[in-house]
Amino acid sequence: MKFTHTWTGKLGITFDLMPHIGQVNGIHYAFGYGGHGLSIATYLGTEMGLLLSGQKQRSPFQEISHQTMFFYRRDPWFLPFAAQYYRFLDWIS
């Protein structure tokens, strides 16, 4: 089967592989869908709307702590290599 269209883009993955919602300095966020963007983004958008409108007080996604990695210094130097590796795997399959 040949594909005529594909969906591409940057993939946001958190260290704990869980989505997060919250607020920092008055800025509300929802991120880290880990490749499940369309379905979980719709759900978390609704969840965030309920929180912002006061219809809901808390969300379980607010309770998930943000994990960090030892020695990770915000420069993802390894990502281009990982992306090339997975592109190669896609190409040979």
45 Rama sector, left if φ>0, alpha if ψ -120 to 50, beta otherwise:
alpha
Query: For the whole model, what pTM was predicted?
Result: 0.59
Q: Name the DSSP class of 16.
A: T
pLDDT tens digits for range 65-84: 877 777 666 777 777 888 89
Distance from chain centroid for Cα 13: 5
Task: Report yes or no: 42 and 49 within 8 Å, Cβ to Cβ.
Answer: no
Q: How confident is the model at residue 66, as a pLDDT?
A: 78
Q: How confident is the model at residue 12, as a pLDDT?
A: 67
For tokens 């210094």, name the residue: 73
Q: Residues 50, 53, 58, 60: is their CA dihedral positive or negative?
A: positive
Reply yes or no on whether the pLDDT at 46 is more than 90: yes
Reply yes or no on whether the pLDDT at 90 is more than 80: yes
